[in-house]
Chain A
Amino acid sequence: AQSVSQHNHHVILSEAASLELGCNYSYGGTVNLFWYVQYPGQHLQLLLKYFSGDPLVKGIKGFEAEFIKSKFSFNLRKPSVQWSDTAEYFCAVRRYRTGRRALTFGSGTRLQVQP
Chain B
Amino acid sequence: ETGVTQTPRHLVMGMTNKKSLKCEQHLGHNAMYWYKQSAKKPLELMFVYSLEERVENNSVPSRFSPECPNSSHLFLHLHTLQPEDSALYLCASSQEGAGSYEQYFGPGTRLTVT
Contact = CB atoms under 8 A, between A and B. Distances in A.
Interface of A: 4, 9, 32, 34, 36, 42-46, 49, 51, 90, 94, 99-108
Interface residues of B, number: 27
B53 to A, nearest CB: 12
A32 B101 contact: yes
Contact of B105 (A4, A45, A100): A45
A103 B94 CA distance: 11
B105 A44 contact: yes
Contacts, number: 55
B50 interface: yes
A103 B106 contact: no
A21 to B, nearest CB: 15
A99 B55 contact: yes
B42 A51 contact: no
